[in-house]
Amino acid sequence: MKSEMNTNIKLAERKLELQKLQLNFVRTGNNKHRVEEQEQVLQLLYSSPDLLHSSKTNYDTKENNLYKYLNVLTAYASNEKKYESVKEFYLNQCEG
């Protein structure tokens, strides 16, 4: 049980980190709608601990359109290689 809790905390931290990086990345562009969507995803994570800590990657996008971002975010955050790759991509993009 404790291991699962640590895993969920790590997953939650990764989701927040990647989402913040994604938001910073889209802010460099001119697409206000995309920025607003990414801000909404971050707010969704902060306001819904069950979504933040969940490893589920198939939330119904018909229920909430933002779930498409959550599903991808969770898939990347729960896989070490994907997580590191996406994190590196965003960090490199934000530097340039």
> Locate tokens 């933040």: which residue?
52
**What pLDDT score does 1 carry?**
44
- The reported pTM is 0.89
**In the predicted structure, residue 82 carries a pLDDT above the cut 80:** yes
**In the predicted structure, residue 50 carries a pLDDT above the cut 70:** yes
Mean pLDDT of 7-26: 95
Mean pLDDT of 12-40: 96
**Around 64, how many Cα atoms within 13 Å sit in the side-chain half-sphere?**
12
**In the predicted structure, residue 27 carries a pLDDT above the cut 70:** yes
**In the predicted structure, residue 32 carries a pLDDT above the cut 60:** yes
Rounded CA-CA distance 75/66 in Å is: 15
**What pLDDT score does 6 carry?**
56
